[in-house]
Amino acid sequence: MVPEKRKLKVVGAAIAAALALAGCAPAGYNAADYGGGGAEPAANAVDATSAPEDDIVAEDDDAAEEAEAADKAADKEKDKAAEKAKAPKLDDDEITTELTEAPVKRMGNAVTDQDGFVLYRFDDDKIKPAVESRCNGDCAKVWPPALTEDGKPKLKGVDPKDVGTVTRADGTKQLTIGKWPVYRYIGDKKAGTWKGQNVGGKWFVVNGDGTKNLTCLPKISKPVAPPADDDEDSEESGGGADYSY
């Protein structure tokens, strides 16, 4: 037979364990009265230094996002460096250093470059979903693109927010107005002339916001021929055979 005192200790220990596992105690409960020291079972112990699992996952996600953003920024810088490296060096006379919206005889206001030559836009170019110049090869010989190295020409009468650049197929940068790439025309022999207006039904004098200037619209004409072997005299030898430019 178990002594009464031993029974009480066993019962007290059982009650203490039950109360500890339940995580609460009745009013006035004192673990010492039940033979317990008040310590929680090891299974219920919480490491104060450990973070909740959700917080750890969130921190890992943040770190991954930061690393991904850093990688993208590094790739972007590499792309810029590669693009700059492959872009051919421009001569001073190839660079358009100024865009001016000024009155042009019989056309009203139009955009001209630093030499007073009228600039044009091309209907075959794209501005959506991305800007793209589609005048290359012989086309670019007849319609020299308004090139830039820093994309910061002097502006007069043209809003800076309307001016941008597009990278051409050869790596050079071309100025855009209202997202439209702009060009000169070799058929214009003097500043202020606009013989390129409505050439091929696709070329038009450009306004300061990139829209077409249709103040004076002559009949559709044929473009001049591209220079043969850089011989400028060939410009006078009739029109170009390819109406795409």
Residues 101 and 171 in one domain: yes
Q: How many C-alpha atoms does 220 have within 13 Å on its Cβ side? A: 6
Residue 164 pLDDT more than 90? Answer: yes
In a domain, 244, yes or no: no
* pLDDT above 70: residue 153: yes
- 71 and 13 share a domain? no
139's tokens: 């086309």
- The pLDDT mean for the chain works out to 79
Strand 180-181, strand 203-205: pairing: unpaired
Is 51 inside any structural domain? no
Residue 242 lies in a domain: no
pLDDT digits (tens, 9 = 90+) for 197-212: 999 999 999 999 999 9
- State which amino acid sits at residue 96: T
Same-domain pairing of 106 and 214: yes
12 and 105 in one domain? no
- 229 within some domain: yes
pLDDT, average across residues 110-137: 97
Answer yes or no: is 66 within a domain: yes
**For residue 116, is it within any domain?**
yes
Percent of the chain residues past pLDDT 70, beyond the cut: 64
On whether residue 49 sits in a domain, the answer given is: no
Q: 33 near 13, Cβ under 8 Å?
A: no
Structural tokens at position 64: 């991954």
Q: pTM of the prediction?
A: 0.63
Q: How many domains does the structure of the chain reveal?
A: 3
Task: Tell me which residue range forms the domain holding 26.
Answer: 4-43
Together in a domain, 227 and 111: yes
Q: Are residues 114 and 191 in the same domain?
A: yes
170 Cβ neighbours under 8 A, 6+ residues apart? 88, 136
Residue 71 and residue 100 in one domain: no
Q: What integer is the mean pLDDT of 171-176?
A: 97
DSSP SS3 for 171:
coil
- Residues 37 and 123 grouped into a single domain: no
pLDDT at residue 21, as a whole number? 46
Q: Which two tokens stand for residue 197?
A: 């207006």
State the pLDDT at residue 69: 82
Same domain, 211 and 158: yes
